[in-house]
Amino acid sequence: MTAARRGNLVTLALLAPSLLSAILLLVIPILIVIAFSFAEQDTYGGAKFGFTLTSYRELFQSIYLPIFVNSLQLAAVSTLVCLLVGYPIAYFIALRAGRYAGILLALLLIPFWIDFIVRMSAWMVLLGRNGTINSALLGLGFIEQPIRMIGTYPAVLVGMLYAFLPTTVLPIHAALNGLDRRLLEAADDLGATPLQSFWRVTFPLSLPGVMAAILFVFVPAMGVYAIPVLLGGGKSIILGNLIVQLFLDFRNIPLGAAVSVVLLAISSVIIVCYMRVLRSVEEARA
Amino acid sequence: MRKVLSLYVPVAALVGYIFLFAPLLVLVIYAFNAGRSTVIWEGFSLAWFAEAFRDRGLRAGLQVSVIVAFASAALATAVGTSAALAVVKRPFAGKNLFSTLVIAPLVLPEIVLAVGLLVATVWTGIPLGYGTLIAGHVLVSIPFSFLIVRAAASGLDPRLDEAAADLGANGRQVFLRVTLPLLAPAILSAFLLCAVISFDNFVVSTFVSGVGSTPLPIQIYAMLKTGLTPKINALGAMLIAVNVLVILIVMGRYLKTVRKPS
């Protein structure tokens, strides 16, 4: 065996496990989902392969449209809230924290790695009818009746912010941390106020990080389902709940597959747009 | 005005950190509370921890989660490491496409991955259970092990390989005596993080766990839907402790490597 052929074999052996798992666990399953979305439901909760647009037609009926609107709205509002809260944190760590930056960044990662369900149960402790916040307010005499917080839209937003805040801060921090400080000094020397140098220098240069944050929050936010159930009382149905219900409760595989395909399509469009915009930003800078 | 502006950023950051840690702190403190209240302190007690350990569903869930976490982390680390080594050390066509494919599960909505796995089991007739859980967790963990090991491998000095080869080591010896020992800490980090990812996984588990293989987060979720009990706080406090420990192990190593150059 020649050395070159041997090298190729080694490369192939290194690539094989990940290629195999990507094909078996990702590519083929998604192709099956797409195939099932065109299948027909049989009476036993199974699906018959065929080509029908029944599921998609059903999906674009009036009962399902609000679910899409709700999900996109929740994802958009959550992303906006995460950016408004996360940007100052990223800015502080990157440009003001000095030698504490490493520790602050590390602290940020702790909630990110803590069990998702435990994090949500912590908020249920705080927001519940007899929870910490209500009891404290009652005890201090600020309110006379407990405020209903679980089951409201703000509670869902708090849960979303809690779930996605670290994901928002990390890419923005990375962009701000790579910023050439001399640009800010130059802006200062040229007489820019701090606000001007922020809007004209810092913010534009942090945009790639902001876009990555949007991608990492908006796309998963469209598919969440535990947060609205636990903190929102499960009242407003969004895509995540709909998919879980269709598969696990109603056993309507074709319709569930169709919803998943639409979610996948929306996500893919967003991911492709992100990559395009990022490339054009990088080209403009080069 | 200037003063207000310069205060805004640190105050916002402080509020952000309070927001991140206050709920966890409240949860942990009240796990030790003798009473059911989450406000009034009725004395220190470990009763809720004992209660959590007595719960049969939670014990069974813990067992499933631990087995699946170790198995899936071992597989995901092996797969991610080999992919990372291929990308860093070997020339081949379509490298970018390959990396995109490996990282894809990180970017796509997790629920779509979960639906794909469930539908694949329906289509092939594979029963839901440990096998499907492990496969699902491997899928969502591979991007993390790949990214961690790739970052470490691309930071290695290629001259070390050359030096070993000049001294007469063959390819296998270079790998076993030089590359692998240098990457060992990163591989260990990847393993620990993959185990945490699997242990915490919720979305994929919802779809691909079967009867008798319900992992801990799904058990907790079912209990939360019927109402919060101090038992869950106690369990949550224990999980937080384990997660923080793993993070500190991984990050301690990482922070050391960051500090070295200065």
**What's the CATH number where B167 sits?**
1.10.3720.10
Say if B11 falls within a structural domain.
Answer: no
CB atoms under 10 Å from CB of A13, counted, come to 11
Q: Is the pLDDT of residue A30 over 80?
A: yes
Per-residue confidence band for B77, with pLDDT thresholds at 50, 70 and 90? very high
- Output the pLDDT for position B2: 60
Say if B20 falls within a structural domain.
Answer: no
Say if B143 falls within a structural domain.
Answer: yes
Q: Is the pLDDT of residue B30 over 80?
A: yes
Chain B touched by A270 (CB under 8 Å): no
Alpha-helix runs per DSSP H in chain A: 3-22, 28-37, 54-59, 65-91, 101-113, 116-127, 132-139, 153-177, 181-189, 194-197, 203-222, 226-230, 239-244, 253-285
- Say how many domains are in chain B: 1
Chain A touched by B175 (CB under 8 Å): no
pTM attached to this predicted model: 0.88
Nearest 10 degrees: CA dihedral of B56, B62, B64, B68? 180
Q: Is the pLDDT of residue B37 over 80?
A: no
Per-residue confidence band for B52, with pLDDT thresholds at 50, 70 and 90? confident
Question: What are the tens digits of pLDDT across the range B172-208?
Answer: 888 888 888 889 989 998 999 999 999 999 999 999 9
- Output the pLDDT for position A76: 95
User: How far away is chain B from the Cα of A108, in angstroms, using its nearest Cα?
Assistant: 8
- Output the pLDDT for position A80: 96
Q: Please state, for a pLDDT cut of 90, what percent of chain B lies above it.
A: 42
Average pLDDT over residues A250-277: 90
Average pLDDT over residues A2-25: 88
- Output the pLDDT for position B259: 47
Average pLDDT over residues A138-165: 88
Chain B touched by A120 (CB under 8 Å): yes
Instruction: Decide if B126 contacts A24 (C-beta within 8 A).
Output: no
Q: Which residue segment(s) compose the domain that B106 sits in?
A: 52-259
Instruction: Decide if B133 contacts B208 (C-beta within 8 A).
Output: yes
- Output the pLDDT for position A54: 80
Give me the residue from A130, A222, A248 closest to B109, CB to CB.
A222
- Output the pLDDT for position B157: 84
Helix (H, G, I), strand (E, B) or coil at B33: strand
Q: Burial code of B168-188, b = ≥16 C-beta within 10 A, e = fewer?
A: ebeeeebbeebbeeebeebbe
Say if B109 falls within a structural domain.
Answer: yes
User: How far away is chain A from the Cα of B49, in angstroms, using its nearest Cα?
Assistant: 15
Helix (H, G, I), strand (E, B) or coil at B201: coil
Q: Is the pLDDT of residue B261 over 50?
A: no
Q: Is the pLDDT of residue B1 over 60?
A: no
- Output the pLDDT for position B5: 67
Instruction: Decide if A137 contacts A143 (C-beta within 8 A).
Output: yes
Report d(CA A226, CA A245) in Å as an integer: 12
When computed from its CA atoms, the radius of gyration of chain B, rounded to whole angstroms, is 23
Q: Is the pLDDT of residue B260 over 60?
A: no
Q: Please state, for a pLDDT cut of 90, what percent of chain A lies above it.
A: 31
The domains of chain A, with CATH numbers, are: 63-238+275-285 (1.10.3720.10)
Average pLDDT over residues A193-212: 86
Q: Please state, for a pLDDT cut of 70, what percent of chain A lies above it.
A: 98
Comparing CA positions, the residue from B154, B146, B131, B140 lying closest to residue B200 is: B140
Q: Which residue of A has its CA nearest to B236?
A: A118
Say if B169 falls within a structural domain.
Answer: yes
DSSP state of B44: B
- Output the pLDDT for position B74: 97
Say if B3 falls within a structural domain.
Answer: no
> Average pLDDT, whole number, for chain A?
86
Q: Which B-chain residues 50-89 have CB contacts (< 8 A) with chain A?
A: 78-80, 82-83, 85-86
Say if B142 falls within a structural domain.
Answer: yes
Report d(CA A32, CA B116) in Å as an integer: 7
Say if B10 falls within a structural domain.
Answer: no
Give me the residue from A14, A88, A194 closest to B82, CB to CB.
A14
- Output the pLDDT for position B257: 53
